[in-house]
Structures are given as C-alpha cells and as structure tokens.
C-alpha cells in the first residue's frame, strides 16, 4: 500500500474519530429536538458550513500561521497530540471533554455555538487538521480539506436523520462507538506527540553550536 493511501486512511480515521458523527448526533438531537425537521436541517447545514470554513482556513494557512507566530511544526504536533490525547482519554472513559463542550444558547445561535465551535471545530479538530496539512506540500493540504469535507457531509446526513439513527443503534452501541473512537484518538495523539518530539530533537541536533 502506497504512502499516499496510508496518509489518506490516517486522515480519514483521524477526523472520523475526533468528529465522532454518532456521538455528536446525540448532542445535535439534544440541542434541536424540539424544532421541526426543516429547522434542524437548516441548523445542521449552517453549523457544518461554518465548521468546514474554520478548518479549511487553518489547514490552508497552517504554514503561514506558523511563520507569523514563530511556531514550528514539531511544537504544533506536540501540543496537538496532547490535546487530541486528552479528548480521546475522556471519550475512552465515557466522559465528555471540556474541549468539546459549549454553554446553553438560543436556537438561533446554536448552529454557531456550541455546535460549530467548539463541538465540531474545536481545538483538537483544528490542531489535527493543521498537523495533517502542514507536514507536506499542497497535496497534503488538498487531501486534508477533501477528507474533512467528506466528513462534514457524513455528519450532515447523521444530523438530518439523527432521531431515527439514534433510535436504531441504541444507547449501548453509541457508548461502544464513543469509547472506540476515544482509543483511536488517544493513539493518534500519542503518535503526533512522538513525531513532534522526534522533529524537535532533529532540529536541535541540526542547530550549529554557538
């Protein structure tokens, strides 16, 4: 299997784990359950368009942001790995991470907060997108953006058919999926941190002594 296919699969499962469409569908239904189907579809569409926009900006401008703030890729990978691991750790134990929680808000604004930010486009999602896209050239950026767009489409379908979907899969299966996604996220977070530490050590080793 080529490196490109491996990278594509890693990006897909990384986003699938951190977006966790099934668990977030339960959140979506809880926030919009008293609204009609048309309003739910409108909120789902608005929240996911905003989510995609936020992640697209960070994925496309990752290197520019690095240069502007003087941030290195190893530093991002270490920090992002810690964030992703923390989210995965809480999911693995059946808990919600505070990085994905939002405050109560009106139905008019629920698409923006807490749905789009911080539940869907939270720190872990942004760090994951930047790490995937900044390690290579524009091809990695394209893969990251396309895969995330696919993930947003999958999440939209889950949101629109949320009540029927949750009724079919049941609460126990949802808990199993959440814990499985938590395990995947924890492993991805550790891998990101390892790559960050390795990159930092390599940078220090290549720095000429004063």
DSSP-assigned letter for residue 208: P
DSSP H stretches of helix in 97-137: 123-134
pLDDT in tens, 22-49: 888 988 887 787 788 999 999 999 999 9
Measured distance CA(112)–CA(103) in Å, rounded? 12
81 close to 191: Cβ distance less than 8 angstroms: yes
- Residue 40 has a pLDDT of 92
Which helix or strand (DSSP H or E) is residue 5 part of?
helix 3-19
Measured distance CA(150)–CA(144) in Å, rounded? 10
With 90 as the cut, is the pLDDT of residue 5 above it?
A: no
């Amino acid at each position: 299997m080529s490196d490109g296919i491996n990278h594509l699969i890693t990006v897909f499962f990384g986003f699938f784990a951190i977006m966790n469409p099934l668990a977030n569908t339960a959140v979506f239904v809880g926030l919009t359950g008293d609204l009609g189907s048309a309003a739910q579809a409108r909120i789902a569409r608005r929240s996911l368009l905003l989510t995609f926009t936020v992640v697209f900006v960070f994925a496309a401008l990752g290197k520019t942001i690095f240069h502007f703030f003087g941030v290195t890729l190893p530093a991002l990978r270490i920090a992002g790995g810690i964030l992703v691991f923390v989210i995965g750790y809480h999911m693995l134990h059946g808990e919600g991470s505070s990085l994905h929680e939002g405050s109560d808000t009106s139905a008019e604004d629920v698409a923006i907060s807490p749905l789009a930010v911080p539940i869907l486009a939270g720190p872990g999602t942004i760090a994951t997108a930047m790490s995937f896209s900044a390690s290579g050239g524009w091809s990695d950026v394209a893969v990251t953006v396309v895969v995330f767009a696919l993930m947003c489409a999958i999440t939209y379908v889950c949101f629109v058919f949320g009540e029927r979907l949750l009724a079919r899969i049941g609460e126990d299966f949802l808990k199993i999926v959440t814990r499985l996604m938590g395990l995947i996220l924890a492993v991805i977070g550790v891998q990101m941190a390892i790559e960050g530490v390795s990159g930092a050590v390599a940078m220090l080793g290549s720095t000429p002594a004063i």
